[in-house]
Structure 1
Amino acid sequence: MLDFISQYHKEILSILTIWTLAVIMPGPDFFLIVRSSIKQSKHQALSSVAGIIFGTLIWLIVGFFLINILSKTILFDIVQFCGGIYLLYMASKIFYSLKNKKEQNLDSIQLQSSSKQSFMSGVFTNLSNPKPPIFISIILSNLPTTPPLQVNLLLLFFMLFIPSVWFWFVVYFFRIKAIYQGFLKRAFLIDIVAGIIFVFFGLNLIYSITIKLF
């Protein structure tokens, strides 16, 4: 393993760099965490992070070990299609909450979701995006040869560690009092942006799978 890492350290570093940039790029996961950090408790926001990390772990395992098998079956397409529908469902919940926003305060919003529900929202939001395993299979193909199992496990660890640190930072950044209060005043705008992001990704998934299958 050490010989492989030493020989291909530049390629491995490149993979981790690209992965880091992909993780911090705003998407459904990011806006879910921002919204949870501002409108829910810190514990619920961290539960959402845990759900996202769990979903990431599933996609990493798929990307490293099963992508070549699943990508050739209709099951992978079904997962993507269902993911698109779930994102639209999330968007509908956000827009529905905006409709009743004037009748709500921060405390009532926090009571709408348990830590378990926040965790599952994180899981399903992450799993609704099939790009991670595809992305993983593409960047791993940049390695000149098939990595040993130990190298795959090491890469899997770091590719799980990076989003863990990033989303933990996002939660605590948006929980800083001054930042929290500032963004809380703009919660309505954040809800709109998050809803639009979810609709965009959801419709894009549904459209791409529909075109592929029909």
Structure 2
Amino acid sequence: MPADNSLPIILTVVAAHFLALISPGPDFLLVVRSALRNTPRHALGVALGIALANGIYIALCILGVAAVLAHSLWLMTVLKIAGGLFLLYVAFHALRARRSDYAFISAPGAAHDATALQTAPSFTREFALGMLSGLSNPKNILFYLSLFSVVLTPQVGNGFRIGLGLWMTALVFLWDAAIILVLSQQRVRRAFGRLAFYLDKMAGALLGLMGAKLLHSVAHAQR
């Protein structure tokens, strides 16, 4: 594909993707919650899981499979139900958490404290949560499908498509990882240490509302 034609596509994707990344949603709230509750090493599991889930949907869009999936009413319904139940699950655990669960956040040397590392969720568990969050969010596949349907014309070569997909997947991880690393700084952790309990409750409530909204949309569509 000629370079002069690829520049508008790149700029369009960069702008649209960046706006989507900075818009608060279930994935963003999950990243913030994980960063406030866990050590950076464990929290990065969420970022990796979300990025991989986005990468799967991006690959499906590039291959043209996503268009078929998006037009499958039953599959989108299943995604909405799964997404709603998953968000309610995360919200439930956030709302029932105790103050003691956040004690290690503001404690000196918390990132290296053996007890904190033993009680904090594992990298694998956080990765699974991130993956489930990304895959069960129907807005992800619809966003990439609508974006690629505009920018990926028949004139766009396979090399450009693959490069674009890899770049977008990497950007998702880097953005979420940056949020985690900022919230993991000692000064930030000390500042948020006293508020983490309440912030997690707020995040849990918002996630619960999003989950309930998804399930309500399914119930409303069945009428």
Aligned residues: 210
- Secondary structure of 1:26's match? coil
CA distance in 2, matches of 1:30, 1:163: 11
Q: 2:38 is matched with which residue: 32, 37, 40? A: 40
Equivalent in the alignment of 2:166: 157
1:66 aligned to 2:65?
yes
Unaligned 5+ segments in structure 2 are: 105-114
Equivalences for residues 119-138 of structure 1 within 5 A: 119-138=127-146
Kindly indicate whether the alpha-carbon contact (under 8 Å) linking 1:63 and 1:134 is maintained by their aligned counterparts in 2.
no
* Cα distance, 1:185 vs structure 2: 1.3
Supply the AA of the counterpart residue of 1:140: F
Equivalences for residues 98-177 of structure 1 within 5 A: 100-101=98-99, 105-106=103-104, 111-143=119-151, 145-146=153-154, 147-177=156-186
Percent identical among aligned pairs is: 25
* Cα distance, 1:59 vs structure 2: 2.0
Relative distance call for 1:45 and 1:103 in structure 2 (3 A) is closer
Relative distance call for 1:173 and 1:111 in structure 2 (3 A) is same
- Secondary structure of 1:142's match? helix
Kindly indicate whether the alpha-carbon contact (under 8 Å) linking 1:77 and 1:209 is maintained by their aligned counterparts in 2.
yes
- Secondary structure of 1:113's match? coil
Relative distance call for 1:166 and 1:92 in structure 2 (3 A) is same
CA distance in 2, matches of 1:149, 1:39: 41
Kindly indicate whether the alpha-carbon contact (under 8 Å) linking 1:81 and 1:209 is maintained by their aligned counterparts in 2.
yes
What TM-score does the superposition give when structure 1 sets the normalisation length? Answer: 0.88
Equivalent in the alignment of 1:52: 50
Supply the AA of the counterpart residue of 2:67: N
Kindly indicate whether the alpha-carbon contact (under 8 Å) linking 1:48 and 1:121 is maintained by their aligned counterparts in 2.
yes
Kindly indicate whether the alpha-carbon contact (under 8 Å) linking 1:88 and 1:202 is maintained by their aligned counterparts in 2.
yes
* Cα distance, 1:63 vs structure 2: 3.1
User: Once superposed, what is the RMSD of the aligned Cα atoms?
Assistant: 2.1
Kindly indicate whether the alpha-carbon contact (under 8 Å) linking 2:55 and 2:166 is maintained by their aligned counterparts in 1.
no
Relative distance call for 1:50 and 1:132 in structure 2 (3 A) is same
- Secondary structure of 1:141's match? helix
1:40-96 alpha-carbon deviations (Å, 9 max, x no partner): 111101111111111111222233332211122212321221111110111011111
Kindly indicate whether the alpha-carbon contact (under 8 Å) linking 1:8 and 1:143 is maintained by their aligned counterparts in 2.
no
1:191 aligned to 2:200?
yes
CA distance in 1, matches of 2:100, 2:173: 34
* Cα distance, 1:18 vs structure 2: 1.0
Equivalent in the alignment of 2:90: 90
CA distance in 1, matches of 2:117, 2:203: 16
Equivalent in the alignment of 1:16: 14
* Cα distance, 1:193 vs structure 2: 2.0
What TM-score does the superposition give when structure 2 sets the normalisation length? Answer: 0.85
Kindly indicate whether the alpha-carbon contact (under 8 Å) linking 1:39 and 1:110 is maintained by their aligned counterparts in 2.
no
CA distance in 1, matches of 2:164, 2:182: 27
